[in-house]
C-alpha cells in the first residue's frame, strides 16, 4: 500500500463528474467536498484536461479525487 496518493488518472475507483452548463470547479468542490475552496484538488487531479480552473466545458468528464 503506497503511503502517497497516486495520480487519480490511473485509478478506476476515482469518482468522476460530467460537467453541465453552469458548473464551476468551486460548485463541483462544494457538491463533493462541502467546501468550494477545495476546487484546487479537482483542478490538480485534472491537469491533463484542464489548463485553467476557470475554463471547464459541459460534457467534460472530471475526476473527483
Partner 1 sequence: MKKQFVWLLAAMMAVLIVGCASQKGPAEQAIAGAETALAAVRDQAQKYVPDQLQAVDAQIASAKDAFAKGDYKGVLAAGPGIMTAISGLKDAASAKAADADAALSKAKDAWSSVSTDVPKMVDAIQSRVDILSKSHHLPPNVTKDSLGAAKSGLDSLKSMWSDASSAASSGDYTGAMAKAQAVKDKAADIMKSLGMTS
Which spans of this chain sit near partner 1 (rule: CB under 8 A)? 1-2, 5-6, 8, 10-15, 30-35, 37-38, 41, 65
Please report where in the chains the cell 458548473 appears, as a residue: 23
CB of 48 to partner 1, least distance (A): 16
Q: Nearest distance from residue 21's CB to partner 1, in Å?
A: 20
* CA–CA gap between residue 12 and residue 58 (Å, rounded): 22
Nearer residue to partner 1 within complex by CB, 41 or 60: 41
Biggest CA pair distance of the chain: 38
Amino acid at each position: 500500500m503506497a503511503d502517497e496518493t497516486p495520480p487519480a488518472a490511473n485509478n478506476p475507483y476515482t469518482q468522476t463528474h460530467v460537467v453541465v452548463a453552469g458548473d464551476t470547479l468551486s460548485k463541483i468542490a462544494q457538491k463533493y467536498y462541502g467546501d468550494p475552496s477545495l476546487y484546487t484538488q479537482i483542478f490538480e487531479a485534472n491537469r491533463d484536461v484542464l489548463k485553467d480552473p476557470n475554463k471547464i466545458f459541459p460534457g467534460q468528464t472530471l475526476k473527483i479525487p
